[in-house]
Structures are given as C-alpha cells and as structure tokens.
Amino acid sequence: MSILVSSISVPFQKGEAAAVELALRRAGVKNPKSAYIVKSSVDARRRSEIKFVYTVGIECDHEEEVVRRAGDSNVRLRKPQLPELVCGGRTLANRPVVIGFGPAGMFAALTLARMGYAPLVLERGGDVDSRVAAVEGFWKGGSFDSRSNVQFGEGGAGTFSDGKLTTRINDPLCETVLEAFVAHGADPSILRKAKPHIGTDYLRRVVKSIREEIIRLGGEVRFNTRVTGFSARSGRLTAVRTEAGEIPAEVVILAVGHSARDTFQAVRRAGAEIQPKPFSVGVRAEHLQSEIDRGLYGDFAGDPRLPVGEYQLSYRENDRGVYTFCMCPGGFVVPSSSEEDGVVTNGMSEYSRSGSNANSAVVVSVDSRDFGSDWDGGIHYQRQLEQAAFRLGGGSYRAPVQTVGRFLAGQAGADFGRVEPTYAIGTQAADFDRLFSPGVASMLRKGLENFARKLPAYAAADAVLTAPETRTSSPVRIPRGENFQSAGLQGLYPCGEGAGYAGGIMSAAVDGIRCAGAVIGEYAPVQN
C-alpha cells in the first residue's frame, strides 16, 4: 500500500524534485521510505504562469494514520489492485475464440492465455509487418487491400494512430494495460503521464511482442482469416464459419472494431440483437504545430521542458455538438479506407511527434435524425459519405480538401499557404457543401469559429481541412447482459469499440480484459 498526493502544482521550470518536496510537506511526512512521481500533466490555462501538476506516491510507516492526520482530500491511500481472477467450473468442449486482434481482442486473448485457456484468435488482416507493407504501398499509390489496411490487421486501427492512451474511464485496469504495454516495449514514461501516448512506430513493435507472448502461453493467432458467419442451436453459439472452414466454438469474444460491417451483418443473421448508435462525422483539421504551441504556451512555446502542444475543444448548440477528437501533435493525416471506392481519413503521430503539422478530427454528432432508425442506418450513412468523397477526390483515393478561409466564406477550393496537406495519396480542392449535409456543414463552421476564440490558430485562412472523418466510433451497439453475453446469442461476448463499449485504445483494452474475465469466471480451461 502507499499514499497518493494529488494536485501538486509547481511552475514548469522547477520540475519534479520541487513537486516531491511539496507533496511530503502536504502529507506531513518527514522520513519516507520512498517518494516518486506517479502522474504529471501541464496546466497552461494561464500562459504567463504555466505549471506542471503532479500526483506523488509516498511509502512510509503508519500510512493510514498519515492520511487521517492530513485531513486533505488530495492525500489518500492508493486503491488496492483488483482481486485475482478465479476460474469457473463449467466445462468447455472447445478453446475460446477471439475474433479481431485490435486492443480489445489482443488484451482479451492475452488475459485468457495467461490463465491457461489457449485462445484461438481470428484476424481478417495481416500480421503487423505485412500489414505495414500493404498500407505503405497503398499510400505510395499502390493497390488498395480491403483485407489488410489501416482498419484491419494486427493491432487494429490504433496501429496507425498516435497510440494515444488517454481515456475518460476511471478503472484500475487502466494501470494493468499500461504496465503490459511497457513490458512489451512501450516507453516507461506512459506510466507517469496524464496524457500518455505510444506513437505508431513504437506501437508496431509492442503489438508484435504481445502476440508472441500469447503464442508462447499456448494461444494461436490466425491472420488473413475472415469470419463469414456463425452457427447456433436454440439461441446458443455452436461454431464460427470462416472462409477456410467451420470452427467449433461455444464461447466467442467478438472484438472486431468499428469497421467490420460484414461481421455485424453476420452476427445479426445468427440471432444477436444490434442497435443503431449515434456517432460523429467531419474533417481532419491541419495547422502548423508551432502556432498551436504558441496559442497554448505563449512566449514559452518551444521550451524543451514543455511537451508538444495538444488541445481538446468543443461547442454545442441546441442538441447538436461539434468537437475535436484524436488530436495528433506533429503528425500526419492518413488514408484509412476499409472498402473499395471510399475515402476515409485518420490521424497518426510517431513517438517523437516531430512533424511540422498538428492535426485533429473536427466532427459533428449525428444520430437517427440523419440516418434513420434501421440498425444499419449509420453504416449506410458512413458509406455514402465515403463514396461521395471518393468521387469528389477524382476517383483515385485522393482526398477532398478545403482551406479554412474558403470553407468559412462558403467558397469552394483551397488557397494553400504555410500549411501543406500531409495526406499521402494526394488531395483535390473541393466544396464541402457538396459533401456534407447542410446541418453538418453549418455546425462545422460554427465549431471552427468558436474554437478560434479559444485558440486563435484555428482561424488561420491557410489551415487545411481534409475529408471525411467517419470512423470516430462504431455506428452500432450489440447489447449484452451483466454476464457480458449477447442476449440473443448465448456464448457471444460483444467486446470493445466495435460492439459499442469503448472509445479508443485504452478503454477497448480494458473491455477486452473484462470480457475475458467473464469467460474465466464461468468456465474452466480446456483440458488437452
């Protein structure tokens, strides 16, 4: 056990030693066994007085008494770790199957493997090395691979992202996930940062290492294996059908991500309930990273003691919201299609975040008003937008773009200046009023104008908008009960972002562990 002292605020120039000293004084501890930084973040609300805010861990004698004596809500005992998983008693005839090898599927499989369940993982895309080759080939003008791309393959969509690990969930398992990432090659600093990120270059090595551990522990990973359907009897799962044949299975963790549209259809045909879910669509906004830094840090911009500037902005009008999402400092806008003849964008940063541009999704919430009440209405809405963008870009996966000045003025085209588009395949100047509905286009304009009042760089006329951003979250939810199983198809465990229970790498990984824990709590490992 230890003590946590939070909200320790010191000028960024003073650093960690000053924070530890202040925490010890606040807790009234003179002779600690140890004192160390647990988390750190930047407070730049006042650009003239930028501070680091720390949480400090303290180990000492009589910790409970120290906390009581301090009488400070920011001085508390560290929460104990989750209890150990205990295997259930029901017999499994077949090893558990995990479909999808993004964060949810990966951590579900890792958890099962560590407990002796020898899971079988099915992933439609390729391993990370072949996947990177396919993706980079496409970006350089090669052919598009609908099987192995930014959305599908080892590591999921997060493999081609900033590797951002921020999350709104407050779950002790977040620490478990971070520790696993570090054990498999991520920079240990992610354990201490309030806004940790791995970077796409590091993440590729990490996911490969996790796969190797799963295999070492008795699991199996089959790449390039697309699931085509499910077999069931009396509402209970009996098998998974793939292009290579049928696999008997009474327990399946479905962790396919937000883009496996054909799998959603297959699940529904097998009897599982699927509901439409709100999501968001919009653009990727690119600005000079130096201007973002100056807007956040003022005269301190460029100080090596400060991290590359990040932002999170939002605006709401009536019942429609617009917000920034998946901000990638010093990053790139990347082609992210998962179907032929459709354009999709996403953001990516390497660990160094050293690129000249910052980019972020700027997206507007959409719901049944926009795509109707059918379970797959959101899927059709996404697809129509992506196909329209493909046509606007000239029919060769070039992305339509418009500069901010032109878009705000309602003028088609782009006046490129200091900000050069980073979308690798190339861009085509366009008119976003021909792409988005009037409601979405109007909210995008209002959002940009509102964000500029908070961060002046947002109004830069030569800032670049690249469209469309459509894969912010899953357009469906697969309802599950308290036992984590689908009500309509027993034995199916809908999991992660694709099933509507997560939003990002961290929350997806946590949900994967939770689903695996539900399986472990009910069943005993398969006996060889």
Task: Indicate if 348 and 390 belong to the same structural domain.
Answer: yes
For 228-285, write each residue's pLDDT tens digit. Answer: 999 999 999 999 999 999 999 999 999 999 999 999 999 999 999 999 999 999 999 9
- Full domain range(s) for residue 65: 3-77
What's residue 83's pLDDT?
73
Task: Indicate if 122 and 270 belong to the same structural domain.
Answer: yes
Task: Indicate if 286 and 429 belong to the same structural domain.
Answer: yes
Instruction: Tell whether 89 is covered by a domain.
Output: no
* CA atoms of 154 and 103, how far apart (whole Å): 9
Q: Is the pLDDT of residue 80 over 80?
A: no
Task: Indicate if 297 and 249 belong to the same structural domain.
Answer: no
What's residue 166's pLDDT?
87
* CA atoms of 251 and 248, how far apart (whole Å): 9
> Per-residue pLDDT averaged across 482-490, rounded?
95
Supply φ then ψ for residue 371, to 5 degrees.
-130, 10
* CA atoms of 114 and 220, how far apart (whole Å): 13
What's residue 528's pLDDT?
66
CATH of the domain at 43: 3.30.70.2700
* Of the candidates 491, 517, 516, 495, the residue with the CA atom closest to the CA atom of residue 102: 495
Instruction: Tell whether 528 is covered by a domain.
Output: no
Residue pair 48/97 in contact by the 8 Å Cβ criterion: no
**Which of 77, 105, 122 corresponds to the end of one domain?**
77
Residue pair 87/525 in contact by the 8 Å Cβ criterion: yes
Residue pair 469/361 in contact by the 8 Å Cβ criterion: yes
Element (H, E) at 258: none
For 17-73, write each residue's pLDDT tens digit. Answer: 999 999 999 999 999 999 999 999 999 999 999 999 999 999 999 999 999 999 999
Residue pair 81/233 in contact by the 8 Å Cβ criterion: no
* CA atoms of 442 and 447, how far apart (whole Å): 9
Q: Which pLDDT band, with edges at 50, 70 and 90, does 163 fall under?
A: confident
**pTM of this structure:** 0.95
Instruction: Tell whether 527 is covered by a domain.
Output: no
Q: Which pLDDT band, with edges at 50, 70 and 90, does 161 fall under?
A: confident
Question: Six-digit token pair at 264?
Answer: 């959603």
Instruction: Tell whether 88 is covered by a domain.
Output: no
CB neighbours (10 Å) of residue 221? 21
Q: Is the pLDDT of residue 194 over 90?
A: no
Supply φ then ψ for residue 97, to 5 degrees.
-110, 135
What's residue 79's pLDDT?
75
For 87-145, write each residue's pLDDT tens digit. Answer: 999 999 999 999 999 999 999 999 999 999 999 999 999 999 999 999 999 999 999 99
* CA atoms of 146 and 337, how far apart (whole Å): 8
Q: Which pLDDT band, with edges at 50, 70 and 90, does 168 fall under?
A: confident
Task: Indicate if 434 and 464 belong to the same structural domain.
Answer: yes
Burial class, 324, CB count within 10 angstroms (exposed 0-12 / middle 13-18 / buried 19+):
buried
Task: Indicate if 431 and 326 belong to the same structural domain.
Answer: yes
Q: Is the pLDDT of residue 82 over 80?
A: no
Task: Indicate if 254 and 334 belong to the same structural domain.
Answer: no
H helices then E strands: how many in the chain?
13, 23
Unique residue bearing structure tokens 């009042």: 453
What's residue 15's pLDDT?
85
Instruction: Tell whether 45 is covered by a domain.
Output: yes
Going by DSSP bridges, is the β-strand pair 3-11/75-77 parallel, antiparallel, or unpaired? antiparallel
> Per-residue pLDDT averaged across 14-18, rounded?
93
Rounded to an integer, what is the distance from CA 97 to the centroid of its chain? 23
* CA atoms of 251 and 247, how far apart (whole Å): 11
Task: Indicate if 270 and 282 belong to the same structural domain.
Answer: no
For 273-322, write each residue's pLDDT tens digit. Answer: 999 999 999 999 999 999 999 999 999 999 999 999 999 999 999 889 99
Task: Indicate if 428 and 516 belong to the same structural domain.
Answer: no
One-letter amino acid of 525: P
Number of domains making up the chain: 3
Supply φ then ψ for residue 457, to 5 degrees.
-60, -20
Unique residue bearing structure tokens 């951002």: 164
Instruction: Tell whether 83 is covered by a domain.
Output: no
Contacts of 122 (CB under 8 A, 6+ apart): 97, 98, 99, 100, 222, 225, 227, 240, 242, 247
What's residue 162's pLDDT?
85
Q: What percent of the chain has pLDDT over 90?
A: 92
Q: Is the pLDDT of residue 432 over 80?
A: yes
- Contacts by 240-249, CB closer than 8 A, 24 or more apart: 240/97, 240/99, 240/122, 242/122, 247/94, 247/97, 247/120, 247/122, 248/93, 248/94, 249/94, 249/96, 249/97, 249/120, 249/491
CATH of the domain at 181: 3.50.50.60
Instruction: Tell whether 33 is covered by a domain.
Output: yes
For 355-369, write each residue's pLDDT tens digit. Answer: 999 999 999 999 999
Task: Indicate if 179 and 72 belong to the same structural domain.
Answer: no
* Dihedral Cα 350, 354, 355, 356, nearest 10 deg: 160
What's residue 142's pLDDT?
93
Task: Indicate if 358 and 211 belong to the same structural domain.
Answer: no
What's residue 56's pLDDT?
97
Task: Indicate if 301 and 409 belong to the same structural domain.
Answer: yes
Unique residue bearing structure tokens 């660990």: 351
Instruction: Tell whether 195 is covered by a domain.
Output: yes
* CA atoms of 103 and 204, how far apart (whole Å): 12
